[in-house]
Amino acid sequence: MNQPALQRLGTDADALRAAATHLRDGHLVAFPTETVYGLGADAGNDHAVAGIFAAKGRPSFNPLIVHLAERDAVQALVRWSDAAEALSDAFWPGPLTLVLPLMPGAPVSRLVTAGLDSLAVRMPAHPVARALLAEFGGPVAAPSANRSGQISPTTAQHVEQGLGDRIAALVDAGRCDVGLESTILGLTGQPTLLRPGGITAAQIETVLGRPLAQRRDTEAITAPGQLLSHYAPTAPVRLNATQWRQGEARLGFGAVKADLNLSERGDLTEAAANLFDYLHRLDATGAKAIAVSPIPHRGLGIAINDRLSRAAAPRG
């Protein structure tokens, strides 16, 4: 389905009504969440969902997350569980995605699930995202609003640079607060961490009262964000750099001199919020490579290192 020329929208009621109309018409709409900007389409419209894969150049075996405004709307699509109840009480709305068994007959395109019998669902916390979802009144499939495998967008400018000619509307609400995609937890069997994110494994384990299983990269893809090469700038990325090499763009952390510093005071929350934006900026310099200081592998640092390791992975 052809997209109309890009309409850049604000966040007032009229703008969100216009964005919801685009979604109902089968068009693609980029909108902010607390994590990154999402590329939204009506999750029940096969043609609209296919448009997401076409716009991003995303592999069709890579499932999508469905966003909804209310928990009862989520429960209409998936088989709910005591674990889902406890986790949604603790973390929704917020940056946690749950993968649950798909309810038979749920009005969701099979393209969303990549043919699996499970569905990734979340309730975003961003007030603009929630208002748009409420205005639309249905499930919205929304991966990050960038070309597949490239750096995720945390500003409207990032979206426009990457997808401006491929989407119908862009809701601009400024910079995203969290800056890393949601944590993804599999609940189709033993609770399994499928992708680290803003909600840590330790926080989830505290709520569940049990340790989480960990997905291995050699296992089949069951949720977004599991491709080995992902979140990548054009320039190759070198990790755990303690010394800089000539021609590299330097991304620091802590008390080091660099072109950009994720957090001079060593704050992992600040580093997470800055990560994708700073990778965009350094990539735009045309540097031959981007070198990154070591990031502590604890708390949010686990999610940051996950994104960096995928950005630095060999590219097919």
What residue ranges define each of the domains in the chain, with the CATH number in brackets? 7-214 (3.90.870.10), 237-311 (3.40.50.11030)
Compute the distance between CA of residue 158 and CA of residue 289 in angstroms, rounded to an integer.
20
Phi first, then psi, for residue 193 (nearest 5°) are -75, 115
Please state the rounded mean pLDDT for residues 246-261.
97
What are the pLDDT digits (tens) for 29-88?
999 999 999 999 999 999 999 899 889 987 766 789 999 999 999 999 999 999 999 999
Q: Of the given ranges (141-145, 288-292, 305-309), which has the lowest mean pLDDT?
A: 305-309
Strand order through the sheet with 237-238 = 237-238, 289-292, 248-252, 260-261
Is the pLDDT at 219 greater than 90? The verdict is no
Among residues of the chain, what percentage have pLDDT more than 90?
78
How many other C-beta atoms lie within 10 A of the C-beta of residue 46?
13
What are the pLDDT digits (tens) for 222-234?
555 545 556 678 9
pTM: 0.85
Residue with tokens 């070591």: 294
CA distances (Å), origin 163, targets 108, 146, 159: 24, 6, 6
Write b or e for each residue in 117-144: b if 16 or more Cβ atoms lie within 10 A of its Cβ, otherwise e. ebbbbbbbbbebbbbbbebbebbbbbbb
Q: Which residue would you say has higher pLDDT here, 93 or 113?
A: 93
Is the pLDDT at 1 greater than 70? The verdict is no
Among residues of the chain, what percentage have pLDDT more than 70?
93
Compute the distance between CA of residue 181 and CA of residue 193 in angstroms, rounded to an integer.
14
Terminal Cα-to-Cα distance of the chain (whole angstroms): 29
Residue 155 corresponds to which tokens in the numbers above?
A: 């500003």
User: DSSP assignment, residue 169?
Assistant: E
Is the pLDDT at 122 greater than 80? The verdict is yes
How many other C-beta atoms lie within 10 A of the C-beta of residue 149?
19
Instruction: Report helix, strand or coil for 249.
Output: strand
Task: Please name the residues in contact with 244: beta carbons below 8 A apart, sequence gap of 6 or more.
Answer: 250, 258, 291
Q: What is the chain's mean pLDDT, rounded?
A: 92
Going by pLDDT thresholds of 50, 70 and 90, the confidence category of residue 196 is: very high
